[in-house]
Structure 1
Amino acid sequence: MPYATSSDNVRLYFEEAGSGTPIIFLHEFAADHTNWEPQMRYFSRRHRCIAYSARGYTPSDVPASHEVYTYTHFYSDALAVLDHLKIDTAHFVGLSMGAYSSLQIGINAPQRARSLTLAGVGSGSDLAALDAYREQCQANADQYHSIGATEVAKATREAPSRIPFLLKDPRGHKDFYDSLARHDSRGSGNTMRSFQGGRPSMYTLEDAIRTIPTPTLIICGDEDDHCVAPSLFLKKTIPASGLAMFPKSGHVLNLEEPSLFNETLDRFIGLVEAGHWPPRDPRSVRA
């Protein structure tokens, strides 16, 4: 099995397909590398595509201590995968947790990113509700450790932002949550405790986000309530950004609307590679 190794010796399982300009896919909390399959199949026709499972998600290693599951570890792991494959720059495509890590790449290592795609990004950023969100993350982490991933999956399969997926594709929704039920409980609990419950709100990073030079596509479902305002914030803050809003859509955008997701991402990457995704022209900003 192919593995990259992080700076702290955590093995990261990855898969790759195709050849051409590299694209690396970063999954959300409730997913793993397999949830990018519709994109791996589509984009590998013209690109070198890499999908990997984050630390805590088998077949990657599952460290025992929650202290090595911070957001810094997660975005550094993405770079470790590229380093292992001797890839200098790639298009970063992230969903939710993976989008936050991709945003951190834009802030901390923009020289490694040809572009950033931030889908379903920003839950847990509301400063007014931040303390309550972090308390809920700790409670959710305790659930993973006490009752296990199988029972947690049963309890979360009808979360509000997942309902559009259920309504459109009950079969796909079932497969998704059957997969979540097989996740490593310790890894999920540690990720929830330290990454989800410990990452800074995007709103506290505004000054750093304004310096991101990278062409950026933000994708949001209009029924993913916790991500709408953060997506608008990123659109207004990242200079070379564009926002795509998917109608009647929730959180799991790449699986809920795979054709629309692929079409939107394909157009974006094509424009970036042609040099036609510049920063916003100041003349278009209303005084």
Structure 2
Amino acid sequence: MTDTLALSTHSAITPDGVRLHVESAGRGTPIVFVHEFGGDHRSWEPQMRFFARRYRCISFAARGYPPSDVPAEMERYSQATAADDIAAVMDALGLDKAHVVGLSMGGFATLHFGLRHAARALSLVIAGAGYGAEKEHEDYFRNVSLEVARQFERQGSETFARTYAIGASRVQFQNKDPRGWQEFATWLGQHDAVGAANTMRGVQARRPSIYDLQADIARMPVPSLVVVGDEDDHCLQPGIFLKRTIPACGLAVMPKTGHTLNLEEPAAFNALLAEFFAQVEAGRWEVRDARALPSQIMKTD
């Protein structure tokens, strides 16, 4: 019994031949965790430890993040590929369905997984997803993404991580938990510079705005939870948009919190997810009651 619960490592091979490093622990209903640009598979450790007590927990390193393969060609990185890589991980582990939890870049991949593979998602947790989505900031975000890619190549990951790790929505983590933030910054400095640059150019700079996907999102049937920090400014309005657009969606806003939600506030984040999973599995996370729609406010007849 102990061996089935212990951490195990696996390899998933994507349709285009990329090998992804996968780790799993625990038994039960599966949860797949999808990391952000600034993290990797290790970023989900507080969730792996908590949820492996009663779920089968899976984390993986995205393409471009060692020990996964790092394709040298930028065209092998895209938003669609990031979503399909989640399915490849599930295929490698023989999972028909899973709860899927993503942060930031991983949150976008999770949303697109729901759009492309809805039948395989028990639920979606879309956390910290919004950067570049706001139409008025599209060009700015794209240019910043390309500049970040250049700086990873020019300075190298270890040096540039010192700048990237103290962005406006990261300092909350640094202020609350200096040791946790330092671990995050150290791991960021270990990223492969080619993989980071290709990810920025191929995924981040080219992904479509969620506002352009409104019709598709409005038809997505998967129970969803959107989570944002209230000091993660570029995720607030996109979070509200997703809440209003996904049919069976809840929105949680974590106070005095930045972008690195699951590490900055692990206890609160885990509690949100635990309650969400319980309601989904009980069949109680439903489409919004028509009586609660905005058109019904102050209705008198």
TM-score, normalized by the shorter chain, greater than 0.5: yes
Gap regions ≥5 residues in structure 1: none
- 1:2 to partner: Cα distance: 2.1
**Identity rate of aligned residues, in percent?**
48
Match of 1:193 among 197, 201, 222: 201
CA distance, structure 1, for counterparts of residue 179 and residue 20 of structure 2: 29
Query: Contact conserved, 2:131 with 2:141, CA < 8 A, in 1?
Result: no
| TM value normalised by structure 2 | 0.94
* Equivalent residue number for residue 103 of structure 1: 111
Gap regions ≥5 residues in structure 2: 1-8, 296-301
* Equivalent residue number for residue 11 of structure 2: 3
Alpha-carbon deviations, 1:140-196, whole Å to 9, x = none? 111111111112101122110001101100111111001100110000000011101
Secondary structure of 1:217 counterpart: strand
CA distance, structure 2, for counterparts of residue 243 and residue 133 of structure 1: 24
Alpha-carbon deviations, 1:232-278, whole Å to 9, x = none? 00000001000011000000010000000001100000000011100
Alignment of 1:123 onto 2:131 = yes
Alignment of 1:211 onto 2:207 = no
Alignment of 1:180 onto 2:188 = yes
Alignment of 1:143 onto 2:151 = yes
Alignment of 1:283 onto 2:283 = no
- Alignment coverage as a number of residue pairs: 287
Deviates more, 1:132-141 or 1:50-59: 132-141
* Equivalent residue number for residue 152 of structure 1: 160
Alpha-carbon deviations, 1:120-148, whole Å to 9, x = none? 01111111121121111111111111111
Amino acid at match of 1:94: G
CA distance, structure 1, for counterparts of residue 147 and residue 260 of structure 2: 23
Query: Contact conserved, 2:31 with 2:58, CA < 8 A, in 1?
Result: yes
* Equivalent residue number for residue 60 of structure 2: 52
CA distance, structure 2, for counterparts of residue 263 and residue 132 of structure 1: 35
Match of 1:202 among 210, 213, 235: 210
Secondary structure of 1:164 counterpart: helix
Moved over 6 A (4+): none
| TM value normalised by structure 1 | 0.99
Q: Considering only aligned residues, what root-mean-square deviation do their CA atoms show, in Å?
A: 0.7
Amino acid at match of 1:194: G
Alignment of 1:91 onto 2:84 = no
Secondary structure of 2:170 counterpart: helix
Secondary structure of 1:160 counterpart: coil
Secondary structure of 2:100 counterpart: strand
* Equivalent residue number for residue 253 of structure 1: 261
Q: Which has the larger radius of gyration?
A: 2
* Equivalent residue number for residue 12 of structure 1: 20
* Equivalent residue number for residue 122 of structure 2: 114
Amino acid at match of 2:91: D
